[in-house]
Chain A
């Protein structure tokens, strides 16, 4: 039985498992007995990836078929500062898991920079989870946020871009009525400030997005990057989601009142 390595972003952890990605996603979101629930996001790692940073020896020792014949579902290898210790090159497909355990696989795609600058809204997932506004495109934003010269930086970052609608071009007067973000007035203020600011790379809008992953608003896709590497995972179009991934898409739009 194949052994897999998964880098979980929500919550951050390195997990070895005998489950295939879809089954792992379902297990990870829904649980078996403990009934843990919640959406998840994880990369599958190159199965041959090894590093002294993690106790990979445990994989051979403990990731074995259970006495009842069932595969070992999870073996946690680390739960702290995991992303920062795994290079982008080791990352395989990205998996997005809904609260009820449906999994969508995203593959690496070719990234094409945007022709001219505009305002962007980014939702970060790992290692921190704020929502920020920037004039930088995803590639440059990734570089800026991981730049050691910047007093506020992280070693590596995973994020997605969110739709801004008319606010992307006209933050002061653009219609924002149908955007789902909380405190639109504050978002407007931040966008206006960033529009006139030539030096700042990004400005915080929200410390934490309590609504989880705003799949409906994802523009382009998901990004992971650092100072040297950058990877783009294209998110399917609305039509593709409706027609080819309908089960996942319907689950992804179910809201929680909690």
Chain B
């Protein structure tokens, strides 16, 4: 590779994996605590691994089947890139590996965090946060490492054709882009399956344990308590990790593809535009590693102190990336350096605004959640109405922020020239890369949450002293805040990534048209242009992509419908899986009265198995819906219909995801606010209403909302890989 700054990417990827190993070893070397703590930790780890085994089994079958289909399409029907079967499998494999390493770390770390909390709060924070950093660094290390590897491989193996180096680079980047489909499908399994598992276990444990039998939270007598703890890991560690792995690789790959397309006629500039997103991601990794070392606290720290220590790492990394990217782009000498830099900053700022807006809408420190708590005095109906209202209102700031970020990044990168579509869309993709550049540390903050939560559960079940529980409670409370902002960040980055993927869709269409021999496009006004030289505007003209085209309009409506149908399916899935858990917990209490008396141990593994099987079964339909819809729409409505579908899915899915996540989060925190003693506190009429609201919101915030991130990205990436089929066999 002739561009020296390219090497930042592979070096940073390797360093990420090396530091992840260092942090992992550091965590494993810590004291595991008492035999009781170790026993509880073992239950959770065994449960988590049993879940992963089952999920990988189902995934293995699905991936093998789809790889065969892709192979037939590629080698039999010549309707796909020959690389697709391999990139697809690699994307899935490495996303799954990231989830596996993250879960191995998180399940070991919670016991050690609880053990460290016996001595001091700073020690406990260090163990929990650095263990979260393992997940963050593994995701970015494997993600960027694979991109670099596939890029180098494609660069070495794809020969230069008759269309010159510029078109070859477009072919390379769009080929590597298919790596995203495997990652995306894996993310769908992890997010939807994990979301159903965690809420089935949570709702099941609460309904029988708390409501029927009067057992408190995290009580070892509850047969579903371990499944509940396992659920925290499969949902918030493996699920969140796979979601952001997909966003991360999707944003970088889309930006590279759009960069290649934007400078197709100028190979010297083109390679800079292709390399820039990878190098920015590499810089982000280096600064994330540095940021991890800034997270520390002192004994007796307040919630504010703890939040400040965590924010210090994230904020310093974000501030430094702004400066470093300016230097990098200047060194790389990309065209319109400051415009591109502005696009990166726009992405970073968008991420921060979306995160803060989420915190405002869901934290009990602010008015919206307090309003919901206030409405609880009127009973469950008024509380639910208030939560729905807050959730709907909460969509405005994130949507405005992403809209502003998109518009600004487009304008900055295009030099405020709206006709420069290629450059503008490259800017949008670069903004997504900017937002995700410090993923190593932001994901560390997210993965820290379930570790601290499980540490609190372990301390409670092990009967540790009040000073230890006070420390784990403080860490857990901090985790709740990072979880809320993390969800907002995941949704915001998914929206920007999906936009970048949709923009790169037309580039893939170009490659497919060339590959299938359609080398000349006849435009509406009778003019012709070679496919290789056509601009995005030419493609929009050729495919008649405008809202008066019924194919586009129908596509938009179908996209919105899919977002709602998908959410409905996942919400109902939680209800069905939770009922199975409720019946199992009731059965165990009925058949062994000694469980409730604390004389015999419940069958924890049976509850984990029930949630696992329920989650795997229930995720099939939503997964099929999200994969099949773009294919069917492509076949029936053609390229214009697919673009409509993706736009409709993105618009409705993005807003719906924010609504579901924030209303659920706000109900959850309204309940906690009441439990602190407001509006009558525990056992009051308001508390009863809040518990109902929280239960309603559970599948919203932890299953359907986050899963919509995957839907909007998966539909985009499936459209991209099936572009050849759409071009070859589309009816319109």
Contacts and interface: CB of A to CB of B under 8 A. Distances in A.
B140 to A, nearest CB: 40
B517 interface: no
Main secondary structure of the interface of A (DSSP, over half): loop
A256 interface: yes
B53 interface: no
Nearest to B684: A180
B367 to A, nearest CB: 16
A235 to B, nearest CB: 16
Interface string A16-33: 000000000011001111
Contacts of B681: 178, 180, 216
Given A30-B596, A177-B678, A251 B216 contact: yes
Interface in A241-258: 242-243, 246, 250-251, 253-258
Interface residues of B, number: 30
Interface in B390-432: none
Contact of B214 (A37, A177, A243): A37
A100 B596 contact: yes
Nearest to B460: A250
Interface string B567-610: 00000000000000000000001100100110000000000000
Given A177-B678, A180-B683, A257-B211, A30 B692 contact: no
Nearest to B470: A242
Nearest to A32: B593
Q: Pick from A101, A179, A243 the residue with the most CB of B within 10 Å.
A: A101
B215 A100 contact: yes
A257 B691 contact: yes
Contact of A182 (B212, B677, B682, B685): B685
Interface string B683-695: 1111110011000
A6 B440 CA distance: 62
A214 interface: yes
A26 B685 CA distance: 27
B679 A101 contact: no
Centre residue among A178, A214, A243, A246 by max chain B CB count within 10 A? A178
Interface string A156-184: 00000000000000000000011111100
A258 B680 contact: no
B692 A256 contact: no
B466 A242 contact: yes
Interface in B194-229: 210-217, 219, 221
A255 B684 CA distance: 9
A33 B593 contact: yes
B683 A253 contact: yes
A179 B692 contact: no
Residues of A in contact with B, size category: 20 to 34
Contact of A256 (B214, B589, B590): B214
A216 to B, nearest CB: 6
Contact of A101 (B596, B684, B688): B596
Contacts of A182: 685
Nearest to A26: B597
Interface in B113-143: none
A32 B688 CA distance: 29
Contacts of A257: 211, 688, 691-692
Given A180-B685, A182-B685, A257-B691, A98 B214 contact: yes
A37 to B, nearest CB: 7
Contact of A253 (B211, B216, B685, B686): B216
A211 interface: yes
A31 B213 CA distance: 12
Contacts of A246: 466
Contacts of B679: 177-178
Tell which of B213, B589, B677, B686 has the most Cβ of chain A within 10 Å: B213
A256 B211 contact: yes
Contacts of B687: 180, 255
Contact of B213 (A99, A242, A255): A99
Contacts, number: 82
Interface in A189-220: 211, 214, 216
B464 to A, nearest CB: 10
B682 A255 contact: yes
B468 to A, nearest CB: 12
Nearest to A215: B683
A101 B597 contact: yes
Contacts of A254: 210, 214-216
Interface string B211-252: 111111101010000000000000000000000000000000
Contacts of B685: 180, 182
Contacts of A116: none
Interface in A82-113: 98-101
A115 B677 CA distance: 29
A32 to B, nearest CB: 5
A103 B628 CA distance: 57
Contact of B691 (A27, A39, A253, A255): A255
A99 B214 contact: yes
A181 B679 CA distance: 10
Contacts of A216: 681-683
Interface in A1-58: 26-27, 30-33, 35, 37, 39
Contacts of B597: 26-27, 30, 101
Nearest to A38: B214
A250 B459 CA distance: 14
A32 B678 CA distance: 38
A186 to B, nearest CB: 13
A253 B688 contact: no
A182 B688 CA distance: 12
A256 to B, nearest CB: 6
B599 to A, nearest CB: 9
A111 B211 CA distance: 36
Contacts of B211: 255-258
Contacts of B593: 30-33, 35
Contact of A35 (B590, B686, B691, B692): B590
B466 A243 contact: yes
Contacts of B213: 37, 99-100
B214 A251 contact: yes
A32 B594 CA distance: 8
Contacts of A178: 677-681
Interface in B652-688: 677-688
A177 B681 CA distance: 10
A96 to B, nearest CB: 13
B412 to A, nearest CB: 50
Contacts of B692: 257
A246 B465 CA distance: 10
B382 to A, nearest CB: 15
Contacts of B210: 254-255
Contacts of A255: 210-211, 682-683, 687-688, 691
B279 to A, nearest CB: 53
Q: Which of A32, A242, A254 has the most CB of B within 10 A?
A: A254
B146 to A, nearest CB: 47
A100 B217 CA distance: 12
B710 to A, nearest CB: 33
Contacts of A256: 211, 214
B157 to A, nearest CB: 62
A177 to B, nearest CB: 6
B458 to A, nearest CB: 15
13 contacts: A33-B593, A35-B589, A100-B214, A100-B215, A101-B597, A178-B678, A180-B685, A180-B687, A181-B680, A216-B681, A243-B466, A253-B682, A256-B214
Given A31-B593, A177-B678, A255-B688, 16 more contacts: A30-B597, A32-B593, A35-B593, A37-B213, A39-B214, A98-B214, A99-B213, A178-B677, A178-B681, A250-B217, A251-B214, A251-B215, A253-B216, A253-B683, A255-B687, A258-B211
Interface of B: 210-217, 219, 221, 466, 589-590, 593, 596-597, 677-688, 691-692
Nearest first, the 10 A-B pairs at minimum CB distance are A99-B214, A180-B684, A180-B680, A250-B216, A100-B214, A255-B683, A253-B682, A100-B215, A254-B214, A243-B466
